[in-house]
Each structure stands twice: as C-alpha cells, then as structure tokens.
Amino acid sequence: MAATTATTTENSKKKNHLGIPEAIFVEDVDSFMKQPGNETADGVLRKLDEQYQKYKYMELNLAQKKLRLKTQIPQIKQTLEILRHMQKKKETTEPMETHFLLADNVYCKASVPPTDKVCLWLGANVMLEYDIDEAHALLEKNLSTASRNLESLEEDLDFLRDQFTTTEVNLARVYNWEVKRRSKESLLKSIEKS
C-alpha cells in the first residue's frame, strides 16, 4: 500500500511537459559508451547535438506561443474594462461619447446609445454578437484560460532549459571522454614504439 502511494505521488509530481522528451544524464560515460548503438564518440556526439537542436526548435515554438499569449492577455483585459463600462452605461439613457480606432493612429469620435448587445471579434474573420453579460463571462473564461496557459508555458520553458543544461553537460562529458581515450591510445602507441 505504501509503495503504491509513493508511486502515485511521484507520478503526480512528474508533469507531462507538452511531450518534451527528458534528457537522461550520463553519469558513467564508460558504461554509456559500451551500450549498443554507441559505437563511436562521434556518433554519440552527433545524436546529442541533434537532440540539442530539437530542444532549440521546441524553445523557439514555445517562445512564440508565450509572446502571443503576452499580447493576448492585455487585449482581453482591455476589452473586459470596456464591457464593465458599457454595463454601467446600459442602465442610463444618455449616449456614451467615445473615440474608436479607424485606422493606425486615426481615431473617430462616436456617440453610442445605451445597449445590451456587443460584438466580439473572435478571429479568423469571425465576429459574433453577444449580450454584454454573456460577453463578459466569455472574456473572463478566455482570460483565465490564457493565464493558465501562460503559466504552463513558463513551466515548460523552465523544464526545457533544464534539458538544455543536461544535454550540454552530456556533450561535454562524452567529448572529454573521447579526448582522454585518444590521449591514452597515443600514449600506449608511443610506449609500444619505444
């Protein structure tokens, strides 16, 4: 029973980081190089470098997602603020005076009568009309989802940085092992010639 609980706790601590493979630390290079598929140090270094490049590619994709979310969250917050203002104004009969963006750096003055409807741009050339309360609920949900996704992305980037470090250390350890092996071989050859 205790072993099952320990395993469950261990599995819950291990998070699936978007399918990013975990880099295994090479502690004993001699035994690692004796494993099948690790015939030459050059081949192992090539595999490790390939793994490193894959991590770099993943980092680029995650950084782009993070940038997209960091621009999306303020936009959602701004839209929520506008909706709150419209909710306050919908009870009154006086029109709301505002300026809206017509084009880059070109604003137009408008008088908006009180309304209980709002149109939200959903992207991909889609705009839908919502009641203000429905739009507010939708945007609150979108904001919490975007915030959670950003937090998860930060954790994945941290995990990826750990994989970079492990892979770099493995590259250095295998390279140093090969240098030592070659120097031993050359020393043995020079002793044999003597």
CATH at 141: 1.10.287
14 in any annotated domain: no
| Mean pLDDT along residues 153-173 | 94
- At 98 the pLDDT is 87
Residue type, 160: L
Lowest mean pLDDT among 14-18, 31-35, 112-116: 14-18
Residue with tokens 């609150």: 140
Residue type, 107: Y
Number of domains in the chain: 1
In the Cβ-directed half-sphere of 7, how many Cα atoms lie within 13 Å? 4
163 in any annotated domain: yes
- At 56 the pLDDT is 94
Count Cβ atoms below 10 Å from residue 95 Cβ, excluding itself: 13
In the Cβ-directed half-sphere of 68, how many Cα atoms lie within 13 Å? 9
47 in any annotated domain: yes
User: What is the pTM for the complete model shown?
Assistant: 0.73
Lowest mean pLDDT among 3-7, 16-20, 91-95, 134-138: 3-7
pLDDT band at residue 6 using 50, 70 and 90 as cut-offs: very low
Higher-confidence position of 114 and 108? 108
Cα–Cα distance for residue pair 21/85, rounded to 1 Å: 47
pLDDT band at residue 2 using 50, 70 and 90 as cut-offs: very low
Cα–Cα distance for residue pair 28/99, rounded to 1 Å: 67
Residue 190 has pLDDT above 70, yes or no: yes
18 in any annotated domain: no
Residue 172 has pLDDT above 90, yes or no: yes
* Structural domain containing residue 151: 41-90+131-193
Residue 7 has pLDDT above 80, yes or no: no
Q: What confidence tens digit (pLDDT) does each residue in 76-100 have? A: 999 999 999 888 887 888 888 888 8
Strand 106-112 versus strand 117-123 pairing type: unpaired
117 in any annotated domain: no
pLDDT band at residue 52 using 50, 70 and 90 as cut-offs: very high
Higher-confidence position of 5 and 85? 85
136 neighbors 144 (Cβ within 8 angstroms): no
pLDDT band at residue 3 using 50, 70 and 90 as cut-offs: very low
Taking CA atoms, 138 is separated from 57, 62, 87, 125, 144, in Å, by 33, 25, 15, 18, 10
Count Cβ atoms below 10 Å from residue 190 Cβ, excluding itself: 9
84 in any annotated domain: yes
- At 15 the pLDDT is 60
183 in any annotated domain: yes
Q: Which of these, 185, 190, 160, 192, lies nearest to 41 by C-alpha position?
A: 185
8 in any annotated domain: no
